[in-house]
Amino acid sequence: MKLFSCLMALLFLLQAIPGLSLPKDTLRCLGYHGHCLHSKSCPEPFTAFGTCARRQKTCCIDTTSNFHTCQDEGGHCVPPEITCLQEQEGLCPHRGWKCCTEV
């Protein structure tokens, strides 16, 4: 019985630690200061930036903050193996991709 109590306490503590029980797409959205919403479209001034909760919700980021998407800034997202002639600030929906104005 003591072992069961210890295991339950450990599970409770692990769930209480922020980030351990969240899906990867949700952690990524929160890392970009996004919000997970049930709707498929985001209200103004937010824009869709991927998914949350194992693709059950939409990740919406605030376009009035410093976290603008790459396309909003006039660039395009490219994989890391492509070299940019000119890189610029902006979020890309794929992890590790960069925002370029010219390739």
Q: What is the pLDDT of residues 3-45, one digit of tens each?
A: 434 444 443 444 445 545 788 888 888 887 788 988 888 888 8
User: What is the domain extent for residue 58?
Assistant: 22-67
Residues 29 and 61 occupy one common structural domain: yes
Quick check: is 17 in a domain? Answer: no
Same domain, yes or no, for 59 and 40? Answer: yes
Are 97 and 75 within one domain?
yes
Predicted TM-score (pTM) of the model is: 0.50
Q: Is 57 contained in some domain? A: yes
In-domain check, residue 82: yes
Nearest C-alpha neighbor of 61 from the set 89, 91, 88: 91
Q: What is the CATH number of the domain that holds 63?
A: 3.10.360
Q: Residue 61 burial by CB count (10 A; 0-12/13-18/19+): exposed, middle or buried?
A: buried
Question: What would the pLDDT profile of 39-49 be if each residue is shown by its tens digit?
Answer: 888 888 888 88
Number of domains the chain contains? 2
